[in-house]
Structure 1
Amino acid sequence: MSIPVITVGQSREDLVGGLERLHGPVTVVRRCAELSELLAACQSGLARAAVVAEGSEGLTSSLVDRLSAVGVAIIALTDNPDEAARLRAIGVASALTGVESAALSQRIAEAVAQLTGAGPNTAFRSGPADPGAALRTVEAEPPAGPEEPGPGRIIAVWGPAGAPGRTTVAANMAGELAAEGKEVLLVDADSYGASIAAALGLLDESAGLAQACRLADQGLLDREALEKVAVPVATRSGTFSVLTGITRADRWTELRAPALTLVLERARQIAEVVVIDAGFCLEADEELSFDTMAPRRNAATLRSLELADAVYAVGAADPVGVPRLVRGLAELEAAVPQAAPIVVMNRVRASSVGRGPERQLRDAWERYGPASGLEAFLPFDLAAADAALLGGSLLLEAAPESSLRHAIRQLVCAPAQQKRKSSVFSSTAGRRAKD
């Protein structure tokens, strides 16, 4: 079985001719002048592999992801070892520009087999006299992303529409974990209303997460680059880093899922805990559009929840917020079945639900709510929250004795309970509080 191949750039005639003269391993079906032409040809189903002889600098993680989605493996020719390392980081196999046709044919077969999940020598083979057969002991290019996953854990704070307090909870979680002596990275991945920078009083207009995604897309995001992009935030009890969100909602296209995946994988390497302030919307309606490979508005939220080790679902404890949370949890289960959220009721007060607010909420939840039980209650402490917001600080600085601060601390810093396979943190704060 022959592999249809598209070449890009002014490749050497003897290279293309050599591939065609092999009669079996590969077949060159088109020669493209630039990457945009390559993308159009591959999306039409014309090829299963692409050889980029020139212009490999234009290859990005997003482009590779789009080509991989239509079953096309990419092999780039370069003599620059730094460029070869960058290509490996975004999932592109490489070969020297002077590679022999038979060796390139074998590399193409290996890349296609790796993409399809087949064995490297089972689907596409050269003839018995193929001199490239001696190359079969050489390992294929490593997959995209870091060589080894980092040990850090990812916590995503999510909640339905209506501002239930996601940002307040996420920021103070990061602060409390830093106060415990952990290395923490706070990520603002809300593509609708990023507000971590404003809440912490950061005069930052650089959109740190967008910068990190851009570097990841180009295969240039290493540990040092990520640490440089992140903004340090110092408190009296500890220091943590922040990847600020996009400065305008129309910049959501910069938070592409493939790039964000690489950013979070790198984040695991530099932080013990990564706390993500996720957006509210879980819709995937963009998939119904004509161009199914177009960037998706909610990709940042969905990918954050998919990669998280623990998901905290925050809802407002009032007659409007509770039904929103119930509907949101159903949408979350449909969009990210593995999430297993920890449900947190925020702004709990008697004036909104009646006397004994925690008991009232538990009774209503057991009667009408989903299978996920209520794990914690965060009291309504308007004075403390306003003081923190006004000062651009955290509760541990603005109101260290606040009941809200203590509830968040107990929620995230309590000993891990082995109630779920993901070993997520859980809290009994709500059960211990008085009605």
Structure 2
Amino acid sequence: MSIPVVTVGQSRDDLVGGLERLHGPVTVVRRCAELPELLAACQSGLARAAVIAEGSEGLTASLVDRLGAVGVAIIALTDNEDEAARLRKIGVASALTAVDSAELSACIADAVDQLTGAGAHGPGRSSLADTGAALKVTPAEPPSPETPGAGRIIAVWGPAGAPGRTTIAANIAGEMAADGKKVLLVDADSYGASIAAVLGLMDESAGLAQACRQADQGTLDAAALARIATPVATTSGTFRVLTGITRPDRWTELRAPALALVLERARQYADVVVVDTGFCLEADEELSFDTMAPRRNAATLRPLELADTVFAVGAADPVGVPRLVRGLAELEAAVPQASPTVVMNKVRASSVGRSPERQLRDAWERFGPAFELKKFLPYDPGAADTALLAGSLLLEAAPDSALRRAVRDLVCAPDQQKSKSSVFSSTARRRAKD
């Protein structure tokens, strides 16, 4: 079956003409003058492959993702090794400009096979495509010793309201840095980014947006990520922060393909990547947008999809608990693989009743979702306010507070924990001694 192809740029007539004369493996259905015209042709369902003869520097990860979403593979022609390396980072195959028509046809067939999942030796390959072994082609995703990164991604999510996502995410980063780990904290909340305010940082420059722009261009590596991220020094350790967008209307800068590349580089750079996400999990924005438009909630959904650990945080009060229950159902539907660790924050007797942990566990077992309620964090407004006023973390502003001990217990190894899992256990022990 012939593969319909569109081309862009002033490619050599003999190359395009040669593709047209092959009569079978590929068929050139349109020659475009520039990338926007090519994009429109591909989105109309006209082609399954695009050959970029000129203007490959205009290709970005977001554009590649948009074309891939409509089933179009991309092959760029370039003799520049640096450009070929950049293209490889954003998932584009490349060939030399001197490639002949038969070899280019083989490259096109191979790229389409990879996009559709058939692979290099999968079913459906044409016999002509098998002759492409001699072609000097840069594969879209070549094996690399540094991919994937060894870093662990921790996503902190919670439903609408103020369950304490940002406070917990920032203090998790601080505690893990205090244990000697290399930590990167990422503010991916596209509705109300506030990591910079919590840490007392200047938020005039959105670090995550800068990283996404470089990732979109294929120029982001671990060194560039380290330059963009802001260092935060504490008395116990130092970590780096990618601050969030400075205004909610800048959410379009956090596109899913670029954000995924940022998190991939973050894995390579840091031992632990802590992501403060937004609350909204809706994925049906195509009801109000064109299907190829960026998705605002992708900045929340993509980290949750990629995370090794997800902390689902809810407020322990009559409003926060039902919100968390409903939110967990939405999370399971949106990201089935998440398996969150459920954390109840702001636990206090005044909002739940006597023995609040027991009350919450009993209610959760009767009415809660299938996810187990695993951790409790105490309501400690004095410690939280002190840290917020100082623009610092609990380990500096209130190192002996119950909240700080509970957060440390949440993420640190058992031999490093300073308290037991119950946030009221120390009080209970003191009472027992009395």
Query: Could you say which TM-score interval applies, normalised by the shorter chain?
Result: over 0.9
**CA-CA distance at 1:236 after TM superposition:** 0.3
Q: Distance in 2 between matches of 1:275 and 1:134?
A: 43
2:48 corresponds to which residue? 48
Q: Quick one: which amino acid aligns to residue 125 of structure 1?
A: S
For residue 15 of structure 2, give the secondary structure of its aligned residue in structure 1: helix
Q: Residues 207 and 243 of structure 1 are in contact (CA less than 8 Å); yes or no, is this contact kept in structure 2?
A: yes
- Verify: 1:99 aligned to 2:96, yes or no: no
Per-residue CA shift, 1:33-82, capped at 9, x if unaligned?
Answer: 11111111001111110001111010000000010111100001111100
Q: Residues 90 and 145 of structure 1 are in contact (CA less than 8 Å); yes or no, is this contact kept in structure 2?
A: no
For residue 312 of structure 2, give the secondary structure of its aligned residue in structure 1: strand
Q: Quick one: which amino acid aligns to residue 299 of structure 1?
A: A
Q: Distance in 2 between matches of 1:76 and 1:167?
A: 42
Q: Quick one: which amino acid aligns to residue 101 of structure 1?
A: S
**CA-CA distance at 1:125 after TM superposition:** 2.7
Q: Residues 349 and 380 of structure 1 are in contact (CA less than 8 Å); yes or no, is this contact kept in structure 2?
A: yes
Size of the alignment, in residue pairs?
A: 422
2:131 corresponds to which residue? 133
- Verify: 1:428 aligned to 2:427, yes or no: no
Q: How does 1:348-359 map to 2 (within 5 A)?
A: 348-359=347-358
Q: Residues 94 and 137 of structure 2 are in contact (CA less than 8 Å); yes or no, is this contact kept in structure 1?
A: no
Q: Quick one: which amino acid aligns to residue 313 of structure 1?
A: A
Q: Distance in 2 between matches of 1:256 and 1:341?
A: 24
Q: Residues 91 and 144 of structure 1 are in contact (CA less than 8 Å); yes or no, is this contact kept in structure 2?
A: no
Q: Quick one: which amino acid aligns to residue 322 of structure 2?
A: P
**CA-CA distance at 1:415 after TM superposition:** 3.7
Per-residue CA shift, 1:199-252, capped at 9, x if unaligned?
Answer: 000013110011111111110111111111111000000000000000000000
Q: How does 1:24-423 map to 2 (within 5 A)?
A: 24-120=24-120, 122-125=123-126, 133=131, 135=133, 141-143=139-141, 148-289=147-288, 291-415=290-414
- When residues 151 and 429 of structure 1 are mapped into structure 2, their CA distance, relative to the original with a 3 A threshold, is farther
Q: Distance in 2 between matches of 1:228 and 1:351?
A: 46
Q: Quick one: which amino acid aligns to residue 141 of structure 1?
A: P
Q: Residues 406 and 421 of structure 2 are in contact (CA less than 8 Å); yes or no, is this contact kept in structure 1?
A: no
Q: Residues 89 and 145 of structure 1 are in contact (CA less than 8 Å); yes or no, is this contact kept in structure 2?
A: no
For residue 429 of structure 1, give the secondary structure of its aligned residue in structure 2: coil
Q: Distance in 2 between matches of 1:290 and 1:210?
A: 22
- When residues 258 and 334 of structure 1 are mapped into structure 2, their CA distance, relative to the original with a 3 A threshold, is same
Q: Distance in 1 between matches of 2:311 and 2:104?
A: 49
Q: Distance in 2 between matches of 1:222 and 1:381?
A: 40
Q: Residues 94 and 138 of structure 2 are in contact (CA less than 8 Å); yes or no, is this contact kept in structure 1?
A: no
Runs of 4+ in 1 over 2 A off after TM superposition: 119-127, 134-140, 144-147, 287-290, 427-435
Which of 406-415 and 80-89 deviates more?
406-415
What is the TM-score when the length of structure 2 is the normalising length?
A: 0.93
Which of 312-321 and 143-152 deviates more?
143-152
Q: Quick one: which amino acid aligns to residue 326 of structure 2?
A: R
Per-residue CA shift, 1:122-154, capped at 9, x if unaligned?
Answer: 534355xx9x82636877604189761011110
Q: Quick one: which amino acid aligns to residue 203 of structure 1?
A: M
Q: Distance in 1 between matches of 2:423 and 2:321?
A: 16
Q: Quick one: which amino acid aligns to residue 345 of structure 1?
A: M
Per-residue CA shift, 1:372-424, capped at 9, x if unaligned?
Answer: 121111111111101100010000001111110000001111349xxxxxxxx
1:424 corresponds to which residue? none
The alignment-based identity, stated in percent, is 77
Q: Distance in 1 between matches of 2:74 and 2:164?
A: 44
Q: Residues 305 and 337 of structure 2 are in contact (CA less than 8 Å); yes or no, is this contact kept in structure 1?
A: yes
For residue 91 of structure 1, give the secondary structure of its aligned residue in structure 2: coil
Q: Give 5+ residue unaligned stretches, structure 1.
A: 417-426
Q: Distance in 2 between matches of 1:331 and 1:402?
A: 34
Q: Residues 88 and 138 of structure 2 are in contact (CA less than 8 Å); yes or no, is this contact kept in structure 1?
A: no
Q: Give 5+ residue unaligned stretches, structure 2.
A: 429-434
Q: Distance in 2 between matches of 1:283 and 1:105?
A: 41
**CA-CA distance at 1:102 after TM superposition:** 1.3
1:10 corresponds to which residue? 10
**CA-CA distance at 1:293 after TM superposition:** 1.5
Q: Distance in 2 between matches of 1:134 and 1:326?
A: 54
Q: Residues 111 and 140 of structure 1 are in contact (CA less than 8 Å); yes or no, is this contact kept in structure 2?
A: no
Q: Distance in 2 between matches of 1:249 and 1:323?
A: 27
What is the TM-score when the length of structure 1 is the normalising length?
A: 0.93
How big is the alpha-carbon RMSD for the aligned residues of Structure 1 and Structure 2? 1.9
Q: Quick one: which amino acid aligns to residue 325 of structure 1?
A: L
